[in-house]
Amino acid sequence: MKIEVVQLENIRSHVKSTIPFTRGFNCLLGGVGTGKSSVLYALDFALFGEPLGRSFEYLLREDADSGRITVQFSQNGRPYRIVRGLKRRGKGISQDLEELKLYEDEKLLAGMKTDAVAEQIKAITGLDRELYREIMWVRQEHLKELLDAAPRDRQRRLDELFGLSDYEAAWSNIAVYQRDYETEKKVYEKDVDVVGLEKLSVEYNRITEEFMLLEMELQDAVSKLAAAKRALDAADEKLKALEEKKLLIEELRRKEAKVQANIASIKETLASLSRRVEDKKTIIANLKQRQNSLNSQATTYKQILEQAGVFANQPVEALRGQLAAFDDKLASLRAEQEATLRNLRADQKRTESLALESRCPLCLQQLNSEYKNGLMQRIQQENLERQRIIEQLQSEIEKLQRTKAAVNEAVSNLQTLTTRAEELKARLNEEERNLSELIAEIEAKRQLEVDLTGQLEALRFEIGRFDLSDLEAARAQREQAFRQYYRLESELRTKENRKKDLLARLDEVKERIDHAQEKLERMQKITRTLEVLSAIRDAYRSIQPKLRSEFIKVLRNFVQQVLDSLVAGEAPLLNVIVDETYTPYVKSESGVERDVANLSGGERTLLAFAYRLGLGQLIMQSRTGHSLSMLLLDEPTESLGSEDGSIDRLAEAISRFKAIEQIIAVTHSEAFAEKAEHVIVLEKEAGISRISLEK
């Protein structure tokens, strides 16, 4: 695993920082409080999402409501990117799961669920939180922690990391199972069914024989019940047929009464219809007489019209048109009379004018007496003729008015008579149709009476054929068959209940026998299991020291290799010895063993670094199958001084150590940072961390 870029937003003193890393030895250089360790804390949170303490107060910037960390890393040449966020909620700070994302290139592998992201991180890198914090990340003042620990505490802690403590826990857990199995075995040895298994077998055989005898009796009872059921079904069928026949006879009697009632009703209906026919005939005769009277009156009025010169044999609408012709003629005569009267009056005015003066009333010329007198005589003669014409026209008008009045009255009366004749004709047709319908209904009723009389005779014949004694005999036979069937069914039910009891008893005894046999088999398995558990417990107690011894040998070799690589001939050779509590000792070239406490500060730091790297390589290989690829160091120069050159020697040793792909160290020592291949300088201005690359 190699870290490439870490981006921080509102993380402690970082408002918005981007920190690039490279392969090899990287140093974060800065004074106290510039935000160096914040980068390592943020990296831990980004990978695993859990606080170092109880809350995230150590991460989120004080004046910010949210923060975010983005880490780009690579594993086996593949690029990955993980994003985590923090959000302030009230007085507390929690992880913002909406920000949680894990990508491979641009492909989303997991998001919004911490467990899913943790599984993907472990699948990609092989790391979990414990390995990362115990092996890969050496926090400030923790480099010599294992060297300074008590031997038993160191052994217990490293046994847990190597997985050897699992053998001790397994040994203790097996003891619990062993006691449980022994207790279970004692219970089985005192079990009643296990002890009395032979008696249970004898009881089972006796019940089986009784069950077989009962089964034979049941088969015989079933056959008898089947025969009784057939007899009962036959009696039921016969009784049902007779009862249905009885119901049919009762229905026939109801039909007989109904037919008789219908015949009586038809006779009454026929009498009523006959009376109605006679009444209809009388009404028709009266209507015909009235029709003849109307026809006679119409003839009289038509004669009046003929005398007035009007053709009578035409529709009333046409006759009304003839009246309009009278009106036109009257109008013409009156117009002629009016014109003649106007001319008469005009000439009278001319005569009066000539009598007063001798001047022509038309051209106003003077007239002589002779011409004037002749003119006046002609006018008077014409006026006399006009008066005669007016009187003649008045006579014609009065005559025409009388003729019109007679024709109008005749037309009106003829119209009334026509309407009454049509209504009378319609009434006559309706009455004749009703008469025909009544006659047809009388014929139908008479035919129905004949049919019903035939039905009545047939019904009485069928009713006379039924014998009630057959029905009583069938009922008695069915009752006897039912009692026989009920008795046999009761006996069969009793035997079946007995069979069920025997089956239940058989099942109970069989279940007890099976359980007893299972318990015997279980006792045998428990006995064999106890033998195996005893052997396994002995093996667990013996294998743990052997495995620890093998781990110690490999650990000693790893620590020695790392130490030799760190010293590289620039200091006296230090031979490392590791005892069964994982406690390291140093043996000089003269063969003198020295405790770690007796080493110089520089030697102790180099040994602690080599011990930590050796443990890391061994634990990573045993837990993940691959070597330690990254190491994070937070202020590794603790208790080292610049005056004795120990800081320079540690930095030089780390720079030469190429077994780990990437080392990221946080330091305030410029002398230590000079040996790094990639230096990131952190400074603080106005409470905000600033990033710059030195090399």
DSSP string, 416-470: HHHHHHHHHHHHHHHHHHHHHHHHHHHHHHHHHHHHHHHHHHHHHHHHHT--HHH
If asked whether residues 134 and 248 sit together in one domain, one would say no
Quick one: pLDDT at residue 655?
Answer: 82
Collapsed DSSP state (helix, strand, coil) of residue 65 = coil
Phi, psi for residue 440 in degrees, rounded to 5:
-65, -40
Region label for 163, one of left (φ > 0), alpha (ψ between -120 and 50) or beta (otherwise): left
Which of 534, 494, 650 shows the shortest CA–CA distance to 502? 494
At 464, the pLDDT band (50, 70, 90 cuts) reads confident
If asked whether residues 129 and 203 sit together in one domain, one would say no
DSSP H helical ranges for 594-645: 601-624
If asked whether residues 130 and 251 sit together in one domain, one would say no
The domain tally of the chain equals 2
Quick one: pLDDT at residue 44?
Answer: 93
If asked whether residues 241 and 120 sit together in one domain, one would say no
At 100, the pLDDT band (50, 70, 90 cuts) reads very high
At 73, the pLDDT band (50, 70, 90 cuts) reads very high
> Average of pLDDT values for 396-417?
76
If asked whether residues 216 and 123 sit together in one domain, one would say no
Rounded Cα gap, residues 324 and 318, in angstroms:
10
Rounded Cα gap, residues 197 and 189, in angstroms:
12
Give burial (CB, 10 Å; 0-12/13-18/19+) of 477: middle
Decide if 305 contacts 312 (C-beta within 8 A).
Answer: yes
> Average of pLDDT values for 59-72?
94
Quick one: pLDDT at residue 276?
Answer: 87
Please report whether residue 605 resides in a domain.
yes
The strand pairing partners of 194, in sequence order, are none
> Average of pLDDT values for 278-297?
85
Please report whether residue 606 resides in a domain.
yes
Flag whether pLDDT at 23 surpasses 80: yes
Please report whether residue 558 resides in a domain.
no
Integer angstrom CA distances of residue 458 from 67, 306, 452: 109, 74, 10
Q: What is the pLDDT of residues 207-253, one digit of tens each?
A: 888 888 888 888 888 988 888 888 888 888 888 877 777 888 778 78
Q: Between 641 and 624, name the one with better pLDDT.
A: 624
Q: What is the pLDDT of residues 135-153, one digit of tens each?
A: 888 886 666 777 777 878 8
Pairing of strands 107-111, 630-634: unpaired
Rounded Cα gap, residues 34 and 682, in angstroms:
6
CB atoms within 10 A of CB 485: 20
At 93, the pLDDT band (50, 70, 90 cuts) reads very high
If asked whether residues 106 and 209 sit together in one domain, one would say no
CATH classification at residue 243: 1.10.287
Which of 319, 285, 322, 309 shows the shortest CA–CA distance to 416? 319
Quick one: pLDDT at residue 457?
Answer: 82
Q: What whole-number percentage of the chain has pLDDT above 70?
A: 87
The single-letter DSSP state of residue 596 is G
Q: By residue range, what is the domain housing residue 60?
A: 2-141+599-693
> Average of pLDDT values for 503-508?
89
If asked whether residues 104 and 224 sit together in one domain, one would say no
Quick one: pLDDT at residue 47?
Answer: 94
If asked whether residues 324 and 238 sit together in one domain, one would say yes
Flag whether pLDDT at 288 surpasses 80: yes
Token pair in block for residue 487: 């008795």
Q: Which of these ranges, 41-50, 75-84, 520-529, 588-597, has the smallest mean pLDDT?
A: 588-597
At 691, the pLDDT band (50, 70, 90 cuts) reads very high
> Average of pLDDT values for 407-428?
80
Cα 16 from chain centroid (whole Å): 47
At 333, the pLDDT band (50, 70, 90 cuts) reads confident
At 66, the pLDDT band (50, 70, 90 cuts) reads very high
If asked whether residues 204 and 130 sit together in one domain, one would say no
If asked whether residues 315 and 435 sit together in one domain, one would say yes
Rounded Cα gap, residues 169 and 171, in angstroms:
5
Indicate the residue among 429, 447, 466 that finishes a domain.
Answer: 466
If asked whether residues 124 and 219 sit together in one domain, one would say no
> Average of pLDDT values for 386-406?
77
Q: Between 126 and 100, name the one with better pLDDT.
A: 100
Rounded Cα gap, residues 413 and 429, in angstroms:
24
Q: Which of these ranges, 75-79, 348-352, 512-516, 532-536, has the smallest mean pLDDT?
A: 532-536
Please report whether residue 13 resides in a domain.
yes
- Contacting residues for 117 by C-beta, under 8 A, at least 6 apart: 49, 82, 100, 102, 110, 111
Residue labelled with tokens 């690359």: 693
Please report whether residue 535 resides in a domain.
no
Please report whether residue 122 resides in a domain.
yes
Instruction: State the number of CA atoms in the 13 A half-sphere of 504 facing the CB.
Output: 6
Indicate the residue among 466, 491, 507 that finishes a domain.
Answer: 466
> Average of pLDDT values for 180-205?
82
Please report whether residue 536 resides in a domain.
no
> Average of pLDDT values for 475-479?
85
Q: What is the pLDDT of residues 549-563, one digit of tens each?
A: 777 787 788 778 777
Indicate the residue among 466, 488, 506 that finishes a domain.
Answer: 466
Please report whether residue 457 resides in a domain.
yes
If asked whether residues 137 and 229 sit together in one domain, one would say no
Sign of torsion over alpha carbons 105, 108, 113, 118: negative
Q: What is the pLDDT of residues 28-39, one digit of tens each?
A: 999 988 999 999
Decide if 540 contacts 170 (C-beta within 8 A).
Answer: yes
